[in-house]
């Protein structure tokens, strides 16, 4: 009993604590999914939008500079001549004007000499913040040292004076003549960079920052804590940010920075609440489990004591269970049982004697020596040829024997007996191989009907034994269906059938009260049904016109032992 109490307590713990644990885990997972969706994915989406837009701008600027350089190569005048000659300057602007007119981005063009002075351009002077460009430093110095396109951010650290510069050196006969410079104001890119719940930042190789960003920075530089290439959680200026970076070429990188201070605070608060709830529920559940297990154990003790008394023949032993135990229906059933047992014992003496005889014949017919001998012989050879098949056959035989010799159950559900039949067929299929074909057509509503245990198995044995056709193939069909207020079970084969004289003797045998013939199996089924349910029920044997024999069992429709299911019968009428 102590073991039962322990098992009951463990079961209560499991089923009471498991929902709380699952709720806590589900809440934590929801937090993780929310972070992934609202922070990680949203951050990546906006970063990718900026990367796509900036790459398009820079690729377009690179193509423009290339075409402008081609136009300058066709101009015979040097940059110095262009600077001094208004006509030459007008010709240059006319040549490059188509490249500038095809865009509405506010892109400016400037042709500078090797000292950084404007020779020709969209305006006579460089924009404010770029007027101190010199060939000795900054982008002009890097252009003079390379023939490749250069791009970077320049201008004052204030947002209104930040520019995206793209340029290329102009050389003639290996001598530096000047520079082609495209200038895009930072304000032009602002619409592409803003929006969403995060700041998206463009910066060059020197960490020069192009707006927008809501945080104040020193001299327009991005703090070192923000990585250019990987995702990280950054603590800066007493706030938390989720930052991701991506390099896009020409030394530029894009940072997508999401402020998460408030969001993480809510996540921590929610997670803390879930964990606190779990911790609080553990002792509450523990006390409840202890109280319930003690109460249930006491009721079970009383039940055991009462049934022990019944076992010894004491039908008057009282059973008083606590109303809170939830076992009132058990107490009512116990009292009903003790009142009706003696009456049932008197009424069923004859049926019990017939049942004993029937069960003895059943055991003799179910596992006769020939079946066991053939099965064991097959197992012996299967062990050598197919070890897995031998193991399956042994397991199936073990289940059949255990089911067959269990005399404590007289009636079982159709579903249970079908499970036994399938085990029997599995052994026979391992024996006969592809020669044996077995099919079922079962009304699903009939599976819960109660039938005598192993009632149709002898008929199935006969079908296996005598149901082979001219080619040696055995085809068996088992059907179960309702017909009016009866349950009909058919076992049919496609064999050669019976001789007319044999069939006539079998029909006469089914109408008699005694059996002195070799048809033990079919008669045993018929006799058991008649003893249990009366003459309206029994076995009918038919010869099929297409060949083969059909054995039909006619049974009452029973859902509970001893009680006809009137609803089912009325429904079929």
Is the predicted pLDDT of residue 12 greater than 80, yes or no?
no
The predicted-structure confidence for 461-471, as pLDDT tens digits, reads as follows 888 888 888 88
Mean pLDDT, residues 161-178: 83
Q: What is the pLDDT of residues 408-459, one digit of tens each?
A: 777 889 999 999 888 888 888 888 888 999 999 999 999 999 998 888 878 8
Which residues share a beta bridge with 542? 550
Confidence of residue 194 (pLDDT cuts 50, 70, 90): low
Return the C-alpha torsion angle 43, 46, 49, 54, nearest 10. -90
Q: Among 143, 172, 181, which residue's Cα sits nearest to residue 76? A: 172
pTM of the predicted structure, to 2 decimals: 0.43
In the predicted structure, residue 572 carries a pLDDT above the cut 80: no
C-alpha 222: how far from chain center? 44
What's the distance, CA 303 to chain centroid? Answer: 43
Q: Coil, strand, or helix at residue 406?
A: coil
The residue written with tokens 């995206």 in the block is 164
pLDDT at 482: 94
pLDDT of residue 172: 79
Could you tell me which CATH class the domain 348-572 is placed in? alpha beta
Average pLDDT over residues 306-317: 71
Where do the H-state alpha helices sit in 102-222?
Answer: 138-144, 186-193
**C-beta separation of 255 from 241 below 8 A:** no
Residues 6+ apart with CB under 8 A from 560: 450
| For residues 26-51, average pLDDT | 86
pLDDT in tens, 73-106: 777 666 766 766 667 667 667 766 666 655 556 7
In contact, 498 and 551? CB cutoff 8 Å: no
pLDDT at position 363 over 70: no
Q: Tell me the two tokens of residue 155.
A: 């201008």
Residue 355 confidence class, pLDDT cut points 50, 70, 90:
low
Q: What is the pLDDT of residue 13?
A: 66
CATH topology for the 59-258 domain = Beta-Lactamase (3.30.450)
The owner of tokens 């990367």 is 51
Q: Which two tokens stand for residue 260?
A: 């998460």
pLDDT at 3 over 50: yes
Q: Which of 163-172, 346-355, 436-445 has the highest mean pLDDT?
A: 436-445
pLDDT digits (tens, 9 = 90+) for 481-521: 999 889 999 999 988 888 888 888 888 888 876 665 555 67
Highest mean pLDDT among 249-253, 361-365, 405-409: 249-253
Min mean pLDDT across 113-122, 145-154, 227-236, 415-424 is at: 227-236
Pick the residue with more confidence: 123 or 217?
123
pLDDT, position 444:
93
Domain ranges of the chain: 59-258, 348-572
> Percent of the chain beyond pLDDT 70?
71
Give mean pLDDT, residues 8-23. 71
Query: Could you give the percent of the chain with pLDDT greater than 90?
Result: 9
Query: Residue 50's closest CA among 267, 216, 213, 269?
Result: 213
């Amino acid at each position: 009993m102590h073991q039962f109490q322990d098992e009951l307590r463990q079961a209560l713990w499991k089923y009471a604590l498991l929902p709380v644990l699952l709720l806590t885990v589900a809440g934590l997972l929801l937090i993780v999914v929310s972070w992934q969706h609202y922070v990680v994915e949203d951050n990546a989406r906006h970063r990718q939008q900026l990367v796509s837009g900036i790459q398009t701008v820079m690729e377009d600027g690179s193509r423009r500079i290339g075409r402008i350089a081609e136009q300058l190569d066709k101009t015979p005048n040097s940059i110095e001549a262009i600077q001094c000659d208004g006509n030459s300057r007008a010709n240059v602007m006319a040549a490059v004007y188509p490249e500038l007119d095809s865009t509405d981005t506010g892109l400016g063009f400037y042709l500078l000499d090797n000292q950084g002075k404007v020779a020709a351009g969209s305006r006579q002077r460089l924009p404010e913040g770029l007027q101190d460009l010199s060939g000795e430093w900054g982008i002009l110095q890097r252009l003079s040292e390379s023939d490749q396109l250069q791009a970077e951010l320049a201008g004052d650290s204030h947002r209104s004076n930040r520019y995206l510069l793209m340029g290329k050196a102009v050389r003639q006969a290996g001598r530096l003549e000047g520079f082609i410079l495209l200038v895009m104001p930072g304000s032009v890119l602002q619409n592409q960079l803003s929006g969403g719940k995060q700041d998206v930042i463009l910066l060059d190789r020197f960490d020069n920052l192009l707006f927008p960003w809501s945080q104040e920075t020193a001299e327009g530089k991005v703090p070192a804590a923000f990585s250019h290439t990987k995702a990280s959680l950054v603590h800066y200026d007493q706030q938390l940010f989720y930052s991701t970076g991506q390099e896009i070429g020409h030394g530029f990188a894009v940072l997508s920075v999401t402020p998460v201070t408030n969001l993480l605070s809510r996540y921590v608060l929610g997670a803390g609440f879930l964990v606190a709830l779990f911790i609080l529920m553990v002792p509450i559940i523990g006390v409840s489990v202890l109280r319930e297990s003690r109460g249930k154990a006491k009721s079970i003790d009383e039940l055991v004591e009462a049934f022990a008394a019944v076992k010894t023949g004491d039908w008057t032993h009282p059973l008083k269970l606590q109303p809170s135990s939830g076992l009132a229906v058990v107490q009512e059933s116990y009292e009903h049982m003790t009142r009706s047992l003696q009456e049932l014992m008197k009424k069923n003496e004859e049926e019990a004697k017939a049942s004993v005889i029937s069960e003895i014949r059943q055991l003799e017919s179910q596992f006769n020596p020939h079946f066991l001998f053939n099965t064991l012989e097959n197992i012996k050879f299967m062990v050598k040829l197919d070890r897995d098949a031998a193991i399956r056959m042994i397991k199936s035989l073990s289940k059949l024997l255990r089911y067959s010799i269990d005399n404590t159950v007289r009636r079982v559900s159709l579903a249970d007996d079908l499970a036994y039949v399938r085990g029997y067929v599995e052994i026979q299929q391992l024996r006969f191989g592809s020669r044996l074909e077995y099919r079922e057509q079962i009304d699903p509503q009939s599976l819960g009907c109660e039938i005598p245990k192993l009632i149709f198995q002898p008929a199935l044995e006969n079908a296996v034994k005598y149901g082979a056709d001219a080619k040696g193939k055995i085809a068996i069909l088992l059907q179960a269906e309702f017909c009016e207020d009866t349950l009909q079970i058919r076992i049919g084969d496609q064999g050669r059938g019976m001789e007319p004289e044999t069939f006539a003797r079998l029909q006469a045998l089914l109408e008699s009260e005694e059996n002195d013939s070799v048809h033990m199996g079919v008669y045993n089924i018929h006799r058991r049904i008649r003893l249990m349910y009366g003459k309206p029920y029994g076995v009918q044997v038919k010869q099929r016109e297409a060949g083969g024999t059909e054995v039909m069992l006619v049974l009452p429709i029973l859902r509970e032992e001893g009680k006809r299911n009137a609803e089912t019968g009325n429904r079929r009428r």
